[in-house]
Amino acid sequence: MSARRTIVVKIGTSSITDADGVIARGAIEKLCGDVAAVREAGHRVVVVSSGAIAAGLPEIGLGGRRRPADTITLQAVATVGQSALMGVYREAFSAHGLIAGQVLLVPFDFIVRAQYVHAGQTLVRLLELGVVPIVNENDAIADQEIRWGDNDRIAALVANLVDADRLILLTDTSGVHTADPRVHADASLIEEIIEIDHQTEALAGGAGSARGSGGMASKLTAAKIAAWSGVSTVIAHAGRPDVITDALDAVPGVGTVVRARESRLPARKLWIAFAVIARGSVVVDAGARAALERGNSLLAAGVTAIHGAFDAGAPVEVVDTDGEIFAKGLVRHSADELRAAAGHRSGDLPAGAPHVVVHADDMVALPR
């Protein structure tokens, strides 16, 4: 292996628990051994691990088909599962002379810019101290995370936070295939993806198992986020021998390698595009879309409709008249103020009325 690199390794619930959600100690011990091998070679590793909810369910007699559906119970279960999960990780890493540190993240850590930066500083400091950070969603208090979040996306954002050289997504399949290998025996592995497009995304299905929230679709989304931040991704089978070492070196056949883009989004625009949740949408006409694609700011004159209730500074999606979401940005004014100004030219607006809806510095064209 070459000079020291920083990698983010994400492993899903289905890869570290059995069908009832019981923690598979052997799987975690295997992962920690793989991490120890690349640490021994001088590299730095952040582990993003799912499994808190699934691991907590059998502890209180709710494993397998008895899994509850309501969010409050799942949040309560996570408090039991998270400590159990970290106990196994700490023990497994300790066998290799490594110290694991728990980092729990919530939507607030990604929505508020200052908190986002602070989270990155904490992770980097842990790496400097020789600790292996174990990142997970704070399911116990972050109800939105249970509803819409997945650790694949968080892993991609963490890769940006720590300026990683590679994102490795470990799963229970060998990578992206030409069809679902669980259904089509003749499906073949796609070893390299230069750029994720609609055709590639169509190959992905839903969640891989009842215990997981991700599936291949969320892994491709994560790989796209990573690609736009200049990080290449490898999607590989968690059970493969020496999978992290091989993925770090992009050994042929290790899985699916998704290349990083040559042109990358600056950290702030990546944050706007992927880390914050849109609070509403702004519909624009064809002329405004063309102007935005040339790098101009969005003016009130080009707005045809405002959807949602939001305040100044909120993230919004920018939509054309055909309903295509093509950009995202931070608005300069509230939804009510923008509705009053929509469609009016700057010269026709009274003093103090909003002229600029989203400034070019706060706008990012979404990767297709």
298 pLDDT higher than 60: yes
209 pLDDT higher than 70: no
236 pLDDT higher than 90: yes
The pLDDT of residue 204 is 67
CA angle, residues 5, 196, 34, in degrees to nearest 5: 35
Q: Quote the percentage of the chain above a pLDDT of 90.
A: 58
* pTM, entire model: 0.85
**What does each C-alpha distance from 309 to 66, 92, 334 come to in angstroms?**
39, 48, 8
320 pLDDT higher than 90: yes
Work out the pLDDT band at 168, boundaries 50, 70, 90: very high
Six-digit token string for 29: 């011990």
- CATH number for 302: 2.30.130.10
Assigned domain for 261 exists? yes
Question: What are the tens digits of pLDDT across the range 43-102?
Answer: 999 999 988 888 888 888 887 788 888 888 888 998 998 999 999 999 999 999 999 999
Q: Where are the alpha helices (DSSP H) in the chain?
A: 13-16, 25-40, 52-56, 71-94, 108-111, 113-128, 143-148, 151-161, 198-202, 216-228, 243-248, 267-270, 286-293, 335-341
Asked if residue 50 and residue 100 are part of one domain, the reply reads yes
Asked if residue 290 and residue 235 are part of one domain, the reply reads no
Q: Which residues constitute the domain of residue 246? A: 6-268
Mean pLDDT of 245-274: 89
332 pLDDT higher than 60: yes
Residue 306, strand partner residues: 282
Asked if residue 73 and residue 203 are part of one domain, the reply reads yes
Q: Do the bridges between strand 298-299 and strand 315-319 make them parallel or antiparallel, or are there none, so unpaired?
A: unpaired
Six-digit token string for 27: 């799987």
Per the structure, how many domains does the chain have? Answer: 2
Assigned domain for 1 exists? no
Asked if residue 178 and residue 80 are part of one domain, the reply reads yes
CA distance 234 to 193: 10
Environment class of residue 322 by beta-carbon count within 10 Å: exposed (0-12), middle (13-18) or buried (19+)? Answer: exposed
350 pLDDT higher than 90: no
- Report DSSP state, residue 271: I
Among 106, 224, 92, 87, residue whose Cα is nearest residue 169 = 224
Work out the pLDDT band at 308, boundaries 50, 70, 90: very high
212 pLDDT higher than 90: no
Work out the pLDDT band at 205, boundaries 50, 70, 90: low
Mean pLDDT of 193-215: 65
Lowest mean pLDDT among 19-28, 32-41, 147-156: 147-156
3-class SS at 90? helix
The amino acid sitting at 8 is: V
Of 159 and 186, more confident: 159
Assigned domain for 296 exists? yes
- The mean pLDDT value of the chain amounts to 88
Which of 243, 268, 293 is where one domain is finished?
268
Per-range mean pLDDT, top range of 49-63, 154-168, 195-209, 354-368: 154-168
Assigned domain for 190 exists? yes
Assigned domain for 263 exists? yes
Asked if residue 26 and residue 57 are part of one domain, the reply reads yes
149 pLDDT higher than 60: no
